[in-house]
Amino acid sequence: MTDPKSPAVELRGLTKDFSVGLRGVRLRAVDRLSLRIEPGEVFGLLGPNGSGKSTTIKVILGLLAPTAGECRVFGVPSSRVEARVEVGYLPEAPNFYRFLSGRELVEFYGRICGLGGAGLGARVAEVIAWVGLTGAADRRVGTYSKGMLQRIGLAQALVHDPQLVILDEPTAGVDPLGTAAITDLIRQLKARGKTVLITSHLLTQIEDVCDRVAILDRGRLLLEGPVDELAAAGGHATKATAETLNAAERDELRQWLAARGKTLAAAEAPRPRLDQIFIEQVERNRPSVEREQP
Ligand SMILES: Nc1ncnc2c1ncn2[C@@H]1O[C@H](COP(=O)(O)OP(=O)(O)OP(=O)(O)O)[C@@H](O)[C@H]1O
Ligand SMILES: [Mg+2]
């Protein structure tokens, strides 16, 4: 049985190697990754393309076995089927059955998750309404736009009301309005006590919705913590606002503000945006040679 008091996800020294090419060269996709995601948290897993985010998610889902290390979901090793009972998953490139209607598709996933009987139809209608697809529920999925596909993907991930929702790039290819709607759904999930693990390259969205983030590069954890704490750490520039100055004073201010006898009307250290932290971390941890490559 899963234990709702255990961390929703716990990774200890998780390592995943793939063997690639005809010679079976070893590629380390995830490298000794340790992370805890607490129940009720919205956690952002960030990193450049190929940094190991989706591989980590597939290990959490039990779709891939780790090469080394441990992975538990609500206290249960992710290799065990029980670990998946409370998990909903939106894959990064969902390949749904094109000839089913949206309603049939969500019903199909509901049945896979053990739902049935009279309650199933009502639950399917409820999640479809929740993702805003009621009007298109009886159209074939093959006719859906990208944004609609992501929404029906969300509906299938939520149909069995899981405690842990894993969304691998839920807003890939979605317009700003659709992105705002998906961000709002994530907030609603949090308000209902669900745990959400999300990957996205839209860092402003992540910043707005996540309690904590981790930044990976080449499978390794570079940085992890609450967005506010990450932003407070590190020597980011201080922005000062002076009282009205004329042009000459502005020139002199550059040399020495205090010597002009002006009072600062406001002085603040603006919080660096998450995209700034992300780029700094990734660049700092890459060898200089790589940095100079186009
Ligand atoms: N089945 C596989 N076989 C071989 N290599 C793989 C396999 N799956 C992933 N990889 C490799 O593992 C590394 C991590 O890939 P992964 O898909 O986890 O990255 P990601 O962080 O999700 O990237 P993206 O942001 O592009 O989705 C990459 O180098 C990728 O080529
Ligand atoms: Mg990925």
Per-residue model confidence as pLDDT tens digits over 117-165? 888 999 999 999 999 999 999 999 999 998 899 999 999 999 999 999 9
**Residue written as tokens 């899981």?**
162
- Whether 18 lines ligand 1, by a CB cut-off of 6 Å, is yes
Q: What is the DSSP letter of 261?
A: T
Give per-residue pLDDT as tens, 26-65: 999 999 999 999 999 999 999 999 999 999 999 999 999 9
Provide long-range contacts, Cβ within 8 A and 24+ apart, for 25-31.
28/218, 28/219, 29/55, 29/219, 30/55, 30/56, 30/59, 30/66, 30/219, 31/218, 31/219, 31/220
Rounded to the nearest whole angstrom, what is the distance from the C-alpha of residue 103 to the centroid of ligand 1?
A: 32
Q: So what's the pLDDT on residue 252?
A: 64
51 Cβ inside 6 Å of ligand 1: yes
Report which of residues 174 and 8 the model is more confident about. Answer: 8
In a domain, 260, yes or no: yes
Site to substitute for ligand 1 among 11, 15, 30, 53, most atoms within 8 A of C-beta = 53
User: What was the pLDDT predicted at 282?
Assistant: 85
Residue 55 in domain: no
| CA 134 – CA 136 distance, rounded (Å) | 5
Domain boundaries, position 249 = 239-268
Nearest CA to ligand 1 atom 31: 50
Instruction: Look at residue 253 in the predicted model and tell me its pLDDT.
Output: 60
Q: Is residue 85 part of a domain?
A: no
d(CA 55, ligand 2 centre) in Å: 7
| Ligand 1 center to 118 CA (angstroms) | 41
The conformation of residue 101, written as its DSSP 8-state character, comes to: B
If one residue of 11, 20, 33, 54 were mutated to test the ligand 1 pocket, choosing by the most ligand atoms within 8 A of its CB, it would be 54
Q: In the numeric block, which tokens belong to residue 243?
A: 């009282």
Ligand nearest to the CA of 50: 1
**91 CB within 6 A, ligand 1:** no
Distance 258 CA to ligand 2 centre (A): 51
Tokens standing for residue 21 = 């090419």
Instruction: Quote the tokens at residue 57.
Output: 């998610």
Tally the domains of the chain. Answer: 1
Which residues, 6+ apart, have CB-to-CB distance to 279 below 8 Å?
none
What's the pLDDT tens digit per position in 177-221? 888 889 999 999 999 999 999 999 888 888 889 999 999 999 999
Q: Does residue 27 lie in a domain region?
A: no
Residue 74 belongs to some domain of the structure: no
Write the DSSP symbol of residue 286: S
CA distance 269 to 4: 39
User: Bigger pLDDT: 69 or 284?
Assistant: 69
Enclosing H/E stretch for 121: helix 117-130
Domain presence at residue 281: no
**Chain segment 156-166, per-residue pLDDT in tens:** 999 999 999 99
Query: Using CA positions, which residue lies closest to atom 2 of ligand 1?
Result: 18
User: Going by CA atoms, what residue is nearest to atom 9 of ligand 1?
Assistant: 55
32 CB-side CA count, 13 A:
1
Whether residue 254 lies inside any domain: the answer is: yes
265 Cα to the center of ligand 1, angstroms:
50
Whether residue 71 lies inside any domain: the answer is: no
What is the C-alpha separation between 281 and 259, in angstroms, rounded?
37
